[in-house]
Amino acid sequence: MTDMPPLAVVTMVYDDDVYLDIFLRHWTRFLPRSNIFVLMHANYERFEAMAEGCNTMRIRRPETSPESEQLRWRMVSQIVSGLTYQFGRALYTDVDEIITVDPDVAASPVEYICGLTDPVVAPMGVDLVHVPDREPLPYDPARPILGQRRYFAFTSWYAKPAIVSEPIRWGSGGHNCNRKHVLDPALTLFHLRLFDEGIYRARADARLDLVTDDATGGLIPGLGGRTWRSEGDHLSLYRRDTMDEELARIEKPGMMRNAMQLKKMHDDLYILHHRDNKRLRRLPSRYEGVF
């Protein structure tokens, strides 16, 4: 018998030092490093040093093609599916995504997730958004993020079916899957792409370079997520008229209703359809310091 908790946590990194540091500091509060799996697409030695004690896997990065993301997610699906045979649960998030549990519901996301009974579960999805005129200081890694950053917007795109107890097939980005799933409002997936203006702008430039063909100057079809392929200032897209409204819970009733009516796409993947209005809200104060 083993005393390892019955949850495997998986992510994948390319050039994401800041985010891997945040990811590891969050999950190692609740899990031994032996329960954490880090798939590496580059910079192997650096990430192996950061993730010492975790399960690290060097993944070959083939030449880019229009199928690159689809094939990568097929690989991730099979790795995580395999882990469900030995762990009670497995979850996968991109390295810039953090799953938390409402502090009023449980002290530990691991404890809560291990008690779930549905085979595929999605957290409530939100973007954590830096508002520089109210939060003028850059991110300080010596302090918890929630507290330095207090504003978020609901996004169904990040209500990902990330937590599984049975084999799964995710579509590109992990936003949809081949299984019907439930949305659990006690869990939140914080997408951190916009949590710090300086980090966001540097990473956006690097990601755009990654999906740009050096020979033609055009974008490589099918490579990277949709936000990698945009030069727009995404921080400016959020509406501020409700940003002083502190919600009692990170829960959006309309998203919950739509989650009960999942639509199947042409490739047999279920997706949560919900119109997001990019309205900023203030986090409930009890979330301060959660990560």
Q: What is the pLDDT of residue 161?
A: 97
User: Rounded mean pLDDT of 188-212?
Assistant: 84
Helices (H) and strands (E) in the chain, counts: 7, 12
Residues 6 or more apart whose CB falls under 8 angstroms from that of 258 comprise 156, 272, 273, 274
Percentage of residues in the chain having pLDDT higher than 70? 90
At 208, is the pLDDT very low, low, confident or very high (cuts 50, 70, 90)? low
DSSP letter at 46 equals: H
- pLDDT tens profile 51-82: 999 999 999 988 878 888 999 999 999 999 99
User: CA distances (Å), 279 to each of 126, 148, 185, 286, in order?
Assistant: 11, 19, 18, 21
- pLDDT tens profile 137-187: 999 999 999 999 999 999 999 999 999 999 999 999 999 999 999 999 999
| Residue at 203 is within a domain | no
Q: What is the pLDDT of residue 230?
A: 53
How much is the mean pLDDT over the chain? 91
Better-predicted residue by pLDDT, 1 or 263: 263
CB 155 within 8 A of CB 191: yes
- pLDDT tens profile 72-120: 999 999 999 999 999 999 999 999 999 999 999 999 999 999 999 999 9
Dist CA 29 CA 81 (whole Å): 25
Q: Other CB atoms closer than 10 Å to residue 289's CB: what's the count?
A: 11
Q: What is the pLDDT of residue 4?
A: 87
Whole-prediction pTM? 0.90
Q: What is the pLDDT of residue 242?
A: 84
Number of domains, the chain: 1
User: Would the pLDDT of 231 be above 70?
Assistant: no
| Residue at 127 is within a domain | yes
User: Would the pLDDT of 233 be above 90?
Assistant: no
At 261, is the pLDDT very low, low, confident or very high (cuts 50, 70, 90)? confident
Give the CA-trace dihedral at 271, 275, 278, 281, to 10 degrees.
-90
Q: What is the pLDDT of residue 241?
A: 85
At 228, is the pLDDT very low, low, confident or very high (cuts 50, 70, 90)? low
The first and second tokens of residue 165, run together, are 């107890």
For 40, the domain range is: 7-198+227-287
Which residues of 129-180 form beta strands (DSSP E)?
151-154, 163-164
Pairing of strands 7-13, 89-92: parallel
Q: What is the pLDDT of residue 221?
A: 63
User: Would the pLDDT of 232 be above 60?
Assistant: no
Give the CA-trace dihedral at 89, 10, 291, 5, to 10 degrees.
40
User: Rounded mean pLDDT of 179-201?
Assistant: 96
User: Rounded mean pLDDT of 241-259?
Assistant: 88
Q: What is the pLDDT of residue 210?
A: 59
